[in-house]
Structures are given as structure tokens and as C-alpha cells.
Structure 1
Amino acid sequence: MFLGIDIHKRYAQVAVMDEAGELVEEVRVENANLDDLAQQYAGAEAAIEATSNYYHIHDTLSEHLDVTVAHPEKLNLISDTDKKTDRVDAKELARLCRLNSVPESYVPTDEIREARALVRGRQKLVENRTEYANKIHGLLSDHGITRKTKPLSVKGREFLRELSLPEPWEELLRSYLEIIETLTDEIERLDEAIEDRAGSLKETQLLMTIPGVSYYSALMIYAELGEIDRFDRDKEVVSYVGLNPVIRESGDSRFEGGISKRGSGRMRWILVQCAQTAVHTCNDEYLRRFYDRLAGKKSSQEAIVATARKLLVSIYHMLDRREVYNPPGVST
């Protein structure tokens, strides 16, 4: 039997197909009861889509079924139907499962899931804090206060507390400052957990030998890449992260455009940040030389993205070989 399971927040639509491609059963099941369904069809193959809540469901089903997680974007590309309903999606998953054609998505280990939760949670808190800092800037602008103020700095918040604004804006300002203080405390608390976690993993210890890579950036790189042995070569890693150039060929013409931007945006962002730090702050000889050579031909943004790609290739070989950062042609 082959099961296609279309997952939603509280329920799943299930289609069961036999070896001949005949539909055996269609049923809607509460997610809490999927374990019973899995036991009923124990030993069967199943396909689910990589949704936001698939980890727990994958683990539950895998106790009894051979589960493949489908990559959502690739699934849309190969699906042979334009209709989008729960029943249609479930049947399509079952069909692809039967044909052994499910575009597989990586399922991270528990260790990597925990690392992702930490770094992504911290990133969300930082985004929320920035949102309230922007609210304060807007509030000050509405009252003609043009002095440059940094609500995220201690000095900036001290200045803001001394301001006198008419109500209700003064109350709003106090509320925004309180939220920023609370978020800052929580970010610092997560930083401690991230430092502990990164310090305990061999992979992140290796990554932190790179100039410009800290506890947070090392853990994010590790969390977003996952197990390095699932890649056979550095080009696969570059493509997975979306730093590979888009190349279009037609006849005798060949055009190389920007990067594909597939994969994790977080990973591309942190690699660019690390490359910036390595080149402009830490003055890493290997990456700085590469960046300077490109900066004379391309824009600074193009040069730093290419440097981030160069850094990623080094990261792949470091993790693959279990070696510290030791680029060629650099005196140590």
C-alpha cells in the first residue's frame, strides 16, 4: 500500500493506493489519531509534504511506515494537476509514492532540529525588537524630534526615558521601551544557550576557527546545512544554499546572471555577514585577497556574495574532512 498524507494544522487528508494504482481508501484523520492509521497500514510506504508542523507527524508515522517527506517547491513542479484540494493533493502524494517519484526533502536529526530552534528563535526575537525600535523612530518623527537616537543602545534608551511627550504617546513610548528591554534580556539569555550548544559540538568548534565566525553564526551554519555527508561535493552545497549563479544558454550565447536564491535565506544572510566580517574586520588573508580581486571588476555587493560562496566551499571541505580552517596560500 502507498499512503499520500496531506497535512494541515489539526487534521490530515489521507489517500491509500494499491500497487495497481487503484484508490483503496480516502479518509480525513485528526493529527492526534494518525498513529492509529499508521498501525493499520504498518509496513506501507507513505509520503507527506514538508509543512511547518511536519516533524512530530513524521516521527509518529515513522514508527510504523516508511515515510518520505516531499519538498514543497519541487512537488509543485512535477505535480500533474492544476487543482488544489486536500483530496487531490493526498491522491497526488500517494501516486508519486507508488511511482517512487517523490521529490525528497531533508529531514534533520533531533540535534539539528534543536540547533535550528535556538538560532531561529533568537532571530525572531531580534526581528521583533527591531520592529519596536522602528515604532519609536516613527513616534519621534511624528512629534518633530529629529535627533538621531538608537533605541537598541543603553544610552539611546536613557535619552528616550527623559523625553516628555503628550499622552497617549508618552505611554506608548514607555511601553515600547519596556518591550525592547524585555526582548533584549531574552536575546541575551538565548545567547548563553547558543554559546553552550555551539561550544559542545565538534562541527561548530571547527567553524569557529574561521575568522569572523562566532558561536551564533557557527550554530546557524550547522543548523541550516544539516549533516554534511548528505552532500557529495561542494557544488551541491552551493546549489542547496542558493549561492550558485543562474546560467542561461541559447545557441552560441551564454548569460550568467545573479544567484539562484534557492534554499535557506538565513544561510545566505549569515554567510554574507561572516564574509563581511572576515574581509573588513578580521582581515582574513585568503578571503580578503579573493574579495579585492573581484571588487575591482564587480560591485561591492557582487564581490561579497562571491566571497560568501568561496567561504561556503571552505566550510564544506572543513566539515567533510573534519579539519580546522587552513586555506591554501596563507601563512599561519
Structure 2
Amino acid sequence: MIDQPVRPTAIRTDLGAIFVSLELSRSTWLVTSLSPANGEKMSKHSVRAGDTAGLFARFTQLREKCRQRTGYSFPIITVQEAGLDGFWLHRVLEKEGVESNVVDPASISTSRRRRRAKTDRIDGETLLRTLMAYKRGEPRVCAMVRPPSPEEEDRRRISRERKVLTGERVTHVNRIKGLLFAQGISNYEPLHKDRRRRLEELKTGDGRALPSHIKSQLYRELDRLELLLEQIKAVEAERDALIAAQATNATPAPVKMLLNIKGIGAEFATVLWAEGLFRHFDNRRQVASYAGLAPTPWQSGSVDREQGVSKAGNPRLRVTLVQMAWLWLRHQPHSALARWFTERVHRNQGRFKKSTVVALARKLLVALWKYATSGVVIEGAMMKNA
């Protein structure tokens, strides 16, 4: 009898670990695993959301079954998508000695069919295959997220809460102005300190006193607005205390260094540091990519063009940098970056200002990164102490 050659399997089965993907939802967690000596079969098991004890019990079962089949004990390597669950589960797994990976879901390749099938089972298998390809060392198969420490994550709450509160403040101010404009009143400023006294003196466009019900509504709006103003002050006090605590250290604090540049205030400096510059980057391309300011090429045959910035990075950092780029032109008109912007716009005969200011934001981010990490002063930039 002739021996038949062993056909290679589609999936590598001589694994050195138990690979597990976690598809997280609000109600259940789908655990998809592939173990050594189990062929190409992926096992799936559901765990109630938040039940870490049940999850580790499932890991124990996987290890025991694998040990019975092979006689060896293998480590477990997990992967999960970055999402609403944050990083608490990642920290729990790392604390228990389980290798955990968090992947950017937008970086995983998917089918481009118009109606592609999508279920938790399919997503779990895709995550597992992506993890195995990543551990094999395949380049650019996905983008793994570096989870921040609890202290770094908590530090970002200050600037993010202030942004939410200022947005709510704008909403209440616009609502008050809209209610009064419908009565023919357009010269009332809710943010002035005499807002309540001025409200009593207002007359409608036809000379009447404000109706009682709309006046009651306006007072309730002022109550909410004043509460927001107090909360914004409290958040800003926490921010200033954080900056002061960093300034007392022996080494130069990056936030304090950023504050020395003319045109950068406490809020901009805090957002820059808490959202991006606290991380380690190897080069300027990584810095621009993290902020979503890296260019996106489109090249196929004779077609070669740019699609604009990727917008795949941190949206808060990107928005702050675009705002800062406009202010940089006002406060640092003699810097090399501002001169570059002026020459570029002049060359285009005043066109493409918006796209050029985005390019300026990318250059400004790289320059600030070099300044905050290595002390390289931006060419032509004015300092406040000067």
C-alpha cells in the first residue's frame, strides 16, 4: 500500500499558543479560540458580559483540553477591538498573566462586497485570523493600539469634560438668544454678569413686557447656564492645578514648555500633551498619523493623486491642531511655518487656504513634538518670556 502524502492544512496547526478573540457586546462576550492539535476547527463559546470569572474558567478549560491532547501547557494570547468597553478588560487580562492585544477595528481588512455578511461569529473568526497573522510578523495586517495607563487615561478627562461643557454652554446661549429673537430682542448677552437684571428690563419688539411663561423658561435656562459656568471654572481649576504640579518637578514639564510659546494657552497645551504628545513616537510620520493628519495617496496605473488627510487618528487632537494653526498665523507671523504658509497661499493666488492650513497643522504638530521631547526650538517662534 502506497503511503499518501500529508496535505497541508489551510490554517497553520503547529501553534505555540492558544489564540483567543473576544467579540464584546453589552449582553454577551463571544469567545473564539484556536488551540494546538485541534486542526482547523475554531471553537466558540459565549460568556455573559462582564463575567470575568466565567471568562477565566473558559480559559482554564481550553488549557486543560489542550494539555490532554498534547501533553503540554500552552499560554493564551487574546485580542479584542478598541471600543466602548475601554481598556479595563485588557488590564484584567494582563494582571492575570494573559497576553492581551487591543486592535484598531478600522485597520482590519474586510470584504468590499456591497452586501457582505456580518455576524459576531464571522467577526470573531476574522479577529482570530488577524491576531495569528500579526503574531506571525506579517506587516501592516492591522494596527494594534497601545493602551494608556490608568493615570494617562484619567488625565485626558479634564480637557474632554471641558469641551463637553463648553458645547452645552453654546447650546444654552443659543437657545436663550433664539427665544428672545422671536420676541424682537437681539441685544441680550446671556454670558454678561448683569444677565438677570437685564432680563427684567427687556421689552418685546412691539413694546410689551416679556410674557410670564417665556420669562420663567428663560430664568430656568439661566439657572442651567450658570451651573455650567461654575462647572467650567471647576474643571479649569483642576487643569491649572495639574499644570502647576508638573511644573514643580525637577525636569522641564512638556506642558510648561508649550506654555512658553506665544499663542499657546493652558487649554491648548493640556490637550496637546494629554491627547498625543505624552506618547512615544519614533518619527514624524507616526506623529502625523496618530493625529489623522497624514496624507492618503490614491495610486493606480497612471492615476496618482492625494485624497487629503486620513482622519484615522485622534479627532480631538486633530481639531485642536487646526484651530491652533489659524491662531499660529496671528501670533507667530514671523516664524518659518507662518512664512511657509504665506508663500504657499501667494503661489496659489489666494486659493486652497483651508487645505494649506491643514498642512500647516501637520507641520506644527511635528515641530511641537520635537520641541516638547527634544527641546528643538521652532525656527522664528516668539517666546512669552522674551
Structure 1 length normalisation: TM-score?
Answer: 0.86
* Unmatched segments (≥5 aa) in structure 1: none
Distance 1:260 1:148, change over 3 A: farther
Q: Please tell me whether Structure 1 or Structure 2 has the larger radius of gyration of its CA atoms.
A: 2
Pick from 172, 193, 200: which aligns with 1:132? 172
- Residue by residue, what CA displacement relative to the aligned partner does 1:172-222 show, whole Å, maximum 9, x if unpaired? 211111111111110111011112223434222222233222222112112
Decide whether aligned partners of structure 1 residues 253 and 23 sit closer, same or farther in structure 2, where only a CA change above 3 A counts: closer
2:83 aligned partner: 51
The 1:326–1:157 alpha-carbon spacing in structure 2 relative to 1, beyond 3 Å, is: farther
Any conservation in 2 of the 1:4–1:48 contact (CA below 8 Å)?
yes
Q: Structure 1 residues 99 and 275 mapped into 2: Cα distance closer, same or farther (>3 Å)?
A: closer
**2:271–2:317: 8 Å Cα contact kept in structure 1?**
yes
Q: Match of 1:70?
A: 103
Counterpart selection for 2:191 from 152, 176, 187: 152
Is 1:166 matched with 2:219?
Answer: no
- Do the aligned partners of residues 184 and 59 (structure 1) sit closer, same or farther apart at CA in structure 2, a change above 3 Å counting? same
- The verdict on how the C-alpha distance between 1:250 and 1:44 changes in structure 2, with shifts beyond 3 A counting, is closer
CA deviation vs aligned residue, 1:85-133 (integer Å, no higher than 9, x gap): 3333233323322333553123112232012111111111111111111
- Once the two structures are TM-superposed, the CA of residue 74 in structure 1 deviates from its matched residue by 1.3
Structure-to-structure mapping, 1:112-127, within 5 angstroms: 112-127=152-167
Question: What is the deviation of 1:52?
Answer: 1.9
Q: Does 2:22 correspond to 1:5? A: yes
Q: Which amino acid aligns with 1:7?
A: L
State the superposition RMSD in angstroms.
Answer: 2.8
Which of 227, 233, 238 aligns to 1:182? It is: 227
Distance 1:98 1:142 in 2: 62
2:378 to 314, 327, 332: 327
Is the Cα–Cα contact under 8 Å of residues 243 and 259 in structure 1 kept in the other structure?
A: yes
Match of 2:237 in 1: 192
Q: Per the alignment, in what secondary structure is the counterpart of residue 294 of structure 1?
A: helix
Q: Contact (CA 8 Å) 1:278, 1:284: kept in 2 or not? A: no
Partner of 1:239: 289
Letter in 1 for 2:151: E
Q: What's the CA shift for 1:45?
A: 0.7
Higher relative contact order (CA 8 A, sep 6+): 1
* Residue pair 1:5, 1:15 contacting (<8 A) in 2 also: yes
For 1:317, the equivalent position in structure 2 comes to 370
Q: For residue 21 of structure 1, report the CA deviation from its aligned partner.
A: 3.9
1:286 corresponds, among 325, 330, 336, to 336
Distance across 1 between alignment mates of 2:323 and 2:257: 18
Q: Deviations over 1:33-54 (max 9, x none)?
A: 2144236527411111111222
Q: CA, structure 1 residues 44+156, in 2 after alignment: closer, same or farther (shift >3 Å)?
A: same
Q: Measure the CA separation in 2 of the matches of 1:264 and 1:144.
A: 43
Deviation string for 1:226-256 (max 9, x for gaps)?
Answer: 5432x22112211221223333335455433
Query: Are the equivalent residues in 2 in contact too, given 1:228–1:320 (CA < 8 A)?
Result: no
Offset at 1:288? 2.8
- Report if aligned partners of 2:261, 2:381 keep a CA contact under 8 Å in 1: no
* Distance of 2:270 and 2:88 partners within structure 1: 23
CA distance in 1, matches of 2:230, 2:358: 33
Partners of 1:75 and 1:49 lie apart in 2 by: 10
Q: 1:23 & 1:127 partners in 2: Cα distance?
A: 47
Offset of residue 137 of structure 1: 2.4
Give the one of 260, 270, 283 matched to 1:209: 260
Amino acid across the alignment from 1:169: I
Instruction: Please list the CA deviations of residues 21-69 of structure 1 after superposition, one character each: whole Å capped at 9, or x if unmatched.
Output: 42234122231x2144236527411111111222212211222221111
Taking the aligned partners of 1:318 and 1:45, their CA distance within structure 2 comes to 38
**Contiguous gaps of at least 5 residues in structure 2:** 1-17, 61-74, 135-140, 203-208, 247-252
Q: Which amino acid aligns with 1:215?
A: A
Larger helix proportion, structure 1 or 2? Answer: 1
- 2:122 corresponds, among 77, 82, 88, to 88
Paired residue total: 327
329 and 192 in structure 1: CA distance in 2 versus 1, 3 angstrom threshold: closer
Please name the residue that 2:131 is paired with. Answer: 97
In the superposition, the TM-score normalised over structure 2's length comes to 0.75
